[in-house]
Amino acid sequence: MTTPVLSVTNLVKRFKDFTAVDAVSFDLLPGSSLGIVGESGSGKTTTARILAGLEQATSGSVAFDGEEVSARSRRGRLHHARRLQMIFQDPYASFDPRLTIAESVTEPLRLHRTAPGREQERVAELLNQVGLSTRAGQSRPRDLSGGQRQRAAIARALAVEPRVLVLDEAVAALDVSIQAQILTLLDELRRETAVSYVFVSHDLAVIRYITDSAIVMRRGLVVERGPTEELLRTPQHPYTRLLLDSIPSPGWDLDRVAEDRRALDTYGEKAC
């Protein structure tokens, strides 16, 4: 059996009296892509931030290659960042507006010392890998389109050759045509580099395209899990059915949405 590159066990995150993440567990296999689906407030982004070391879990564990992650010290955070990088919904907010794109991509190379003496050459390779020109590399974030900025964010994340990318609504702010381009790029990069993805999204079409398996979160709990296509074709939990039936489409049946809501009200809260 393949050993998971990332194992999450009974992850819990509480904010005072509110439990944002409640006993979440899953495994991520090498080269695979896992979707985390749910509405706003479901706990999916908090889970992603814990994976990236941006939040500390109240309890539970995150293990990389069977070794529990320790990101409390600077050395521990750097070691974890070398293996796992995060890509955010708004790339503009994650770039220093004073730096060119090339300078921003160079920063992690210098911090982690992954290409000593050949930083410029490596930056050019990374930009080319995500479909950006040398001219784009000399631009500042404000001079690029949203799609170009997200390509630059992907290049920066790949600079340290991570084994896992956590993508939090990474295409949600883009036009549909640009979304398709970025998703195609991500799919190609996964095949080329064998990097694994944790893809957080509320968009089921995106999850269907980019992931192999998925978990559905509601109120901090994982309520359903399975291979993506199977989960979306034959959902078992009322909440998953509600998410699917709430998508406007030809022949959209509002009575069915109302029925899903009533079923969910009577189902109760329980984890999968």
* Residue from 114, 144, 111 nearest 126 by CA: 114
DSSP for the chain, written as a single string: -PPPSEEEEEEEEEETTEEEEEEEEEEE-TT-EEEEE--TTSSHHHHHHHHTTSS--SEEEEEETTEE---SSHHHHHHHHHHEEEE-S-HHHHS-TTS-HHHHHHHHHHHHTSSTT-HHHHHHHHHHHTT--HHHHTS-GGGS-HHHHHHHHHHHHHTT--SEEEEESTTTTS-HHHHHHHHHHHHHHHHHH--EEEEEES-HHHHHHH-SEEEEEETTEEEEEEEHHHHHHS--SHHHHHHHHTS--TT--HHHHHHHHHHHHHH-----
pLDDT surpassing 70 at residue 251:
no
User: Tens digits of per-residue pLDDT, 14-40?
Assistant: 998 899 999 999 999 999 999 999 988
Q: What is the pLDDT at residue 91? A: 79
The model's pTM: 0.88
Residue 4 has pLDDT above 90, yes or no: yes
167-218 confidence digits (pLDDT tens): 999 998 888 899 999 999 999 999 999 999 999 998 898 999 999 999 999 9
Q: Does domain 6-267 have CATH number 3.40.50.300?
A: yes
CA-CA distance, 149 to 142, in Å (whole number)?
A: 9
Amino acid at 211: T
The helix-helix angle for 119-129 and 146-158 (nearest 10°) equals 130
**Would you kindly state where each structural domain of the chain is located, as residue ranges?**
6-267
